Amino acid sequence: FIFASSIISILIAIMKKKIYDISILFSLGAKNKLIYCIFLWYSLIYIVFGIIFGTSIGLLASYYFDSIIQNFEEFLNIKIFPSNAYFINFIPVKVIYSDVLCIVSLIFLLVITCSLYSIFKIIHKNSIKSILS
């Protein structure tokens, strides 16, 4: 949800900067479908790069989690999980790739839905019609 809301705010900011370009396209005879397609491609680019980078960083962090914690403990010179206070001295990490695929597809559908909503909101705003008249 946080990722989707950030995509919405990014797309609305992009569309507000491009409102004059949208109005020029409307004055040249472009239909709403063309505007939807243009900004849907914008959102697809953001979604694909966000999912690729986010998933790869998350998988790398989970794969090297033990070494990250060890380096963090050495850097700060503290023990995060002291053996006299806890039964275990590590965090067990297991990656289930079917869950990763489910989360990625859910995020993709959520962001596509939210980006279509933001496109619809910007296109049907009165500011475009006021620029045209």
Q: Which two structure tokens, joined as six digits, stand for 5?
A: 């809301």
Q: Please tell me the predicted confidence (pLDDT) of residue 113.
A: 83
Instruction: Count Cβ atoms within 10 A of the Cβ of residue 83 and give its class: 0-12 exposed, 13-18 middle, 19 or more buried.
Output: exposed
pLDDT of 50 strictly over 70 = yes
Q: Whose structure tokens read 């989707």? A: 4
Instruction: Count Cβ atoms within 10 A of the Cβ of residue 13 and give its class: 0-12 exposed, 13-18 middle, 19 or more buried.
Output: exposed
> What pTM, to 2 d.p., does this model score?
0.68
Instruction: Count Cβ atoms within 10 A of the Cβ of residue 65 and give its class: 0-12 exposed, 13-18 middle, 19 or more buried.
Output: middle
67-83 confidence digits (pLDDT tens): 888 888 889 888 877 76
14-42 confidence digits (pLDDT tens): 777 777 777 787 788 878 788 788 878 87
Q: Which two structure tokens, joined as six digits, stand for 19?
A: 């409102």
Q: Please tell me the predicted confidence (pLDDT) of residue 56.
A: 92
pLDDT of 125 strictly over 70 = no
Q: What's the mean per-residue pLDDT of the chain?
A: 79
Q: Please tell me the predicted confidence (pLDDT) of residue 4.
A: 64
H runs (alpha helix) in the chain: 2-17, 19-27, 32-63, 65-76, 97-123, 126-132
What are the φ/ψ torsions at residue 87 (nearest 5 degrees)?
-75, -35
C-alpha 7/C-alpha 111 separation (Å) is 7
Reported confidence tier of residue 97, pLDDT bands at 50, 70, 90:
very high
